[in-house]
Amino acid sequence: MQPDIYDFFPAAPQVSAFVRRYLYADSTTFVDAGMTPAPTGCCYMGHIFRGAAWCIIDGEEGHSRSGFHISCQVDQREFEVRYRGQLGHIMAELTPTALYRLFGVPAASIRHLAVDWSDALGKELAQTLIASVKNTDSREERTAAFDAMFENISQSSSKPVAHIDDAVQIIEAEEGRISVAELCDRLSVGERTLSRQFHKIVGISPKSFARSIQLNTVIGKLLAQDEKALTELAHECGYYDQSHFIKTMQQFFEQGPREFLQGDNHMFHVFIGNTRKSVN
């Protein structure tokens, strides 16, 4: 059973170039559960302020020593996230290039992992950032502190990365329904160059990113209880046919779309279908 503990809240407008939204859990009941995450195309920067959360990758447990963690792209490896205790957790869902533009950290360098801020960003910077957000007691204070932290660090951020930020915008505008060849034609850049740079900065290939966006789009429409027939919905979201869509769902969620909608999938509802939903 997936724990029903997370909600999402908006980031401040001044940091919207880097932060999509905040995921927030403040559970007053004991949680002992896990989930297999599906790709969202985003990295996350968060703080576990109560309870415990950790990842298990190919059977090996990974814990954040400080509770301040960065989590990046996932693929189809054996990957599970576990939660235990009265969980308190805030996560900033970053835009695909934010980790690189804000901190100069290629997402590919910590792909699949949840690592301490100090390991990813360096001890000195991590200590400064942690000090700016740790002495907070409420959701409002924590999100405000994270907003202020990101706004401050954005003053020295790099400019949008040539081709990569444009590629992200095009893929998202097309809801993932674009080939790498067409993407490169629009950007007037070679496929090898784009794929290499995109993988380094975003953490996955442009093809995998487009697939994540396509999946998020269709899950969002499913969760919105779109009344269209499944075949029509699959075609609208760029799948060849209903069976192609069902196969993709089973690959990521080990269940088809109808079973997904009927199942206990709160975490997927929050993380997947809502990834690009506007938050007011």
How many CB atoms lie under 10 A from the CB of residue 200? 15
For the stretch 24-44, pLDDT in tens is 999 888 988 877 777 788 899
- Check: CB of residue 35 under 8 Å from CB of residue 25: no
Q: Where in the chain is the domain with CATH 2.60.120?
A: 6-154
Separation between Cα atoms, residue 159 and residue 202, nearest integer Å: 15
Question: Is the pLDDT reported for residue 106 higher than 80?
Answer: yes
Percentage above 90 pLDDT, the chain:
51
Phi, psi at residue 106, to the nearest 5°?
Answer: -70, 130
Q: Write the class of the CATH domain 6-154.
A: mainly beta
Q: Mean pLDDT, to the nearest integer, of 203-226?
A: 82
Question: Is the pLDDT reported for residue 6 higher than 60?
Answer: yes
Question: Is the pLDDT reported for residue 174 higher than 80?
Answer: yes
Contacting residues for 123 by C-beta, under 8 A, at least 6 apart: none
Question: Is the pLDDT reported for residue 156 higher than 80?
Answer: yes
Segment of 30-34, 110-114, 240-244 carrying the highest mean pLDDT: 30-34
For 18, the 3-state DSSP assignment is coil
Separation between Cα atoms, residue 272 and residue 166, nearest integer Å: 23
Confidence band, pLDDT 50/70/90 cuts, at residue 19: very high
Segment of 209-218, 230-239, 242-251 carrying the highest mean pLDDT: 209-218
Segment of 125-134, 209-218, 264-273 carrying the highest mean pLDDT: 125-134
Question: Is the pLDDT reported for residue 279 higher than 50?
Answer: no
pTM: 0.86
Question: Is the pLDDT reported for residue 211 higher than 70?
Answer: yes
Question: Is the pLDDT reported for residue 94 higher than 60?
Answer: yes
- Check: CB of residue 219 under 8 Å from CB of residue 272: yes
For the stretch 122-145, pLDDT in tens is 999 999 999 999 999 999 999 999
Does domain 164-273 fall into CATH 3.40.50.920?
no
Q: Where in the chain is the domain with CATH 1.10.10.60?
A: 164-273
Separation between Cα atoms, residue 51 and residue 228, nearest integer Å: 42
CA of 7: how far to CAs of 10, 163, 187, 252, in Å?
11, 33, 37, 22
Q: Mean pLDDT, to the nearest integer, of 53-81?
A: 77
- Check: CB of residue 144 under 8 Å from CB of residue 94: no
